[in-house]
A and B are shown apart, each in its own frame.
Chain A
Amino acid sequence: MTKNNKWWSGIAVPLAAILVGLVIGGVLMFITGNNPFAGYGALLSGSFGSGIDFSETLVYVNPLIFAGLSIAVAYRAGLFNIGAEGQIIVGMLASAFVGYQFAGLPRLLHLPLTLGAGMLAGALWASVPGYLKAKFGVHEVVNSIMMNYIALHLSHYLVTGPLQDPNTTLPYSPDIAQNARLWRFLSGIGSEYRVNTGIFIAILAAFVVYWLLYKTTIGYEIRAVGFNADASRYAGMNTSRAMATAMLISGALAGLAGAVQVMGIQYKFLDIFAFEGWGFDGIAVALVAKNNPIGILGSAFLFGVLHRGSQTMQALAGVPKETIGIVQALIIFIVAAEGLVKGWIPGLDKIKALFNRGKEADV
């Protein structure tokens, strides 16, 4: 019964938020002289209209899932890993390097090695703020933001120096070996189908993270520390270790996002001039999913669809793609302000009361 209750109250607010966000977005379109149905129609056709559209939607969803999971694991331990962005960058760097440097390895070895290199780099990057937090109580937000800039500028240096493709003056690394590339399983249909097995790795990761958080002792510690570090300490847990572990796992997941991006899409490290924003979008994804790993699959998909569809919406229906930015912001706002808006969502109280009835019998 309580399972149902958790499930319901967990999903009611995000669903309502999405609905409200979309309706207000429609009203905005109407006010600005557009037909909301045409707008949303274009959005849907942009994300789902053809095989290639859907493939590109998934390409965008893929790193968002990892980034969302990364944020969620840290958040469960009470930490805000705003450094996922930098961890993704070092993950890309490490995977690109291992991907081309060890060309000639058999696929069975090279593929996991390249993935692992990205995870390890991300974990190492996250370990700095994680260690400082666990050991000295230094706030992880400040340190992980600084680590983001170190990663960004380090990547400029590497890709214009030691890691640069010797055959070019442009800032990118050599291509990774064929054996280090993820399978674009639809490439038989057309070479522009970029969706690759990375999406299955992401889905698998969501279930592994779920298992980790809810079925293992370390996941139990992470959640206990995140909810109440004092009580965890009183119960005999090593709270610093739990936080540091969560940060490592979080960094590894972000690094995995970078690795999959290199191994499935780019095949090399391309210089980045500004942050891609996956790490930051990951925060929104985790928030809307309320840090539930399985929910993150859904919210990453939603954000991917909105992102991809907003471009066609602008092209086909003439609706500015910023409208979707507003819709996303509304969804995030409503979910974040759950306590504030609960009363606005008709029937939610009644639904909750129905499921809570048993629990409050004692009051």
Chain B
Amino acid sequence: MVSPHEKLVLEMRGITKRFPGVVANADVDFTLKKGEIHTLLGENGAGKSTLMKILYGLYQADEGEIYVHGEKREINEPNDALSLGIGMVHQHFMLIPQFSVVENLVLGTEPKRGGVFLDMAAAVRQVEDVSREYGLAIDPHAKVMNISVGMQQRVEILKALLRGAEILVLDEPTAVLTPQEVGELFTIMRNLTEMGKSIIFISHKLKEVMEISDRVTVIRRGRIIGSVTTAETNVNDLARMMVGRDVELVVSKEPAKPGPEMFRITDLHVQDDRHLPALSGVSLSVRAGEILGIAGVDGNGQNELAEAITGMRKATSGQIVLNGKDITNLSSRRVFESKVVHIPADRHRHGLVLEFSIAENMVLRTYYAPPFSNKTVLDWEVIKQEARELIEEYDVRTPNEDVLASSLSGGNQQKVIVARELAQEPELIVAAQPTRGLDVGAIEFVHTRLIEARDAQKAVLLFSLELDEILALADRIAVMYEGRIVGIVDREEATEEKLGLMMAGVSDDRTSAVAGGGEL
């Protein structure tokens, strides 16, 4: 099955996969040429993962054929895929944190001595060979739990290469990386393709897709919308193909008209679950009508800060003041009643009760008081009425308010949370990762709502690991590193490079960095 001009290493033809009530892939064709980086682009739930799971043997297609190097193949389980040279790097790493790099790499294919004993020396040699061959430097003896996320990803890639992968599937590999790490990953990917590997790159970040891929195939609602070469397309066209309509990629916003200072944190100290310091003297302030973005690599105290503000975690010292009222260490319900709302980072774990209906989720904050109950008995008529109004106002796509939250798409789940929280007429909005895992359309929606809240003279604290999001929304940007604020810069002065360095803990010129947050 060789195309007339270029050699195809992989061809998926007419793939159809049905789940009860849904067609996840409908007659999908996908090809991969030798040595290319081919992006599979689509919104969440478009069918990207299903297609890749079929390729990797985790699902079986109902219809369709797979050709590897021109030969028709059956892939019934991941071992079949591996033996055909197909390797996959999952979005969530499949590593054992307590094991060393080399132990993780040889897991399942350990070199043995006498058939029983683990030959660690041989294992290290194997790993070093592969690592040298592909220019992927790594310390074989480091424990996975002690190396950075970027390094862990490198281990995953090495794992696939060690098992002889010729075709690499990278499932949203940039989601967990800093901008610098993304740069390193792209270098690795280019090196690999030069050495003859072929890469399927899954993403919905258009900028990255344009930067790294040779070709892009767009999938929407289980169907292929088209394949284009990157040179002949642009971000706007890709977005239109992906979403099916024109999309505002750049959030249109008026310049901020900040009012008086509304919210202030002074010298806040907080411990994490293991009683180690998570925040060591955080101070910041937000004015009415302003979005303060909090940037930083995951795990530098952002979660603890959001939790301390919203009453989910006790501060050991320091003060949190909203509109002149001290809200430090109030219970989360008291904080909420002080007009602080929270869009939590993990919407499945913290934001929603998935087994509850939309209506039940809409009153998760307010069920205990009139008009939704007389403190003892719920008034379902009022609750459902409220839910219907919010569904309408926030454009939650659902047949009705009795549908379970678990059966909504991620974007619509997030809309339910955003609706519930913003409906409280808040003074301060704490939004943590409000668009994580959402598709372009839903991101646009959430961003618009946050800007609207800002323009209504609310104070907004935006925690995000996505620099693009911070840069698009924030009026000022604070960067966190190891439980401290490295610096606060005005949006106009912020560049990706500058922020990236601050995210790594480098406060290059602290005076100029803090100048933006001068009123602190």
Contact = CB atoms under 8 A, between A and B. Distances in A.
Interface of A: 1-3, 215-218, 220, 223-224, 227-228, 230-237, 349, 352-353, 356-363
Interface residues of B, number: 44
Given A235-B365, A353-B21, A362-B408, A1 B378 contact: no
A362 B351 CA distance: 20
Nearest to A225: B353
Prevailing SS type, chain A contact patch:
helix
Contacts of A227: 353-356
Of the candidates B22, B312, B364, B397, the one having the most CB atoms from chain A within 10 angstroms of its own CB is B364
A217 B368 CA distance: 6
A1 B402 contact: yes
A347 to B, nearest CB: 12
A359 B332 contact: no
Given A223-B356, A224-B356, A356-B20, 14 more contacts: A3-B402, A215-B378, A217-B373, A220-B360, A224-B360, A230-B349, A232-B353, A234-B350, A236-B311, A236-B331, A236-B333, A358-B399, A359-B404, A360-B22
B353 A2 contact: no
Contact of A359 (B354, B365, B399): B399
A237 B334 CA distance: 11
23 contacts: A2-B403, A216-B377, A217-B373, A220-B378, A224-B353, A228-B349, A228-B354, A228-B355, A231-B349, A233-B332, A234-B332, A234-B350, A236-B332, A237-B333, A353-B20, A356-B20, A356-B21, A357-B21, A359-B399, A362-B408, A362-B409, A363-B21, A363-B409
Contacts of B403: 2, 358-359
Nearest to B364: A235
Contacts of A236: 311, 331-333, 336, 365
Nearest to B412: A362
A1 B398 CA distance: 13
Contacts of B311: 236
Contact of A216 (B45, B310, B378): B378
Contacts of B158: none
Prevailing SS type, chain B contact patch:
loop
A230 B346 CA distance: 10
A302 B310 CA distance: 49
Interface in B389-419: 397-400, 402-404, 407-409, 412
B434 interface: no
Contacts of B350: 230-231, 234
A357 B332 CA distance: 38
Nearest to B408: A362
A220 B367 contact: yes
Contacts of A231: 349-353, 364
B342 interface: yes
Contacts of A1: 399-400, 402
Contacts of A234: 310, 312, 332, 342, 344, 350-351
A233 B307 CA distance: 11
A238 to B, nearest CB: 8
B364 A363 contact: no
Nearest to A355: B21
A146 to B, nearest CB: 29
A217 B369 CA distance: 9
B141 interface: no
Contact of B45 (A217, A357, A363): A363
Contacts of A360: 21-22, 407
A228 B21 contact: no
B357 interface: yes
Contacts of B332: 233-236
B365 to A, nearest CB: 5
B109 interface: no
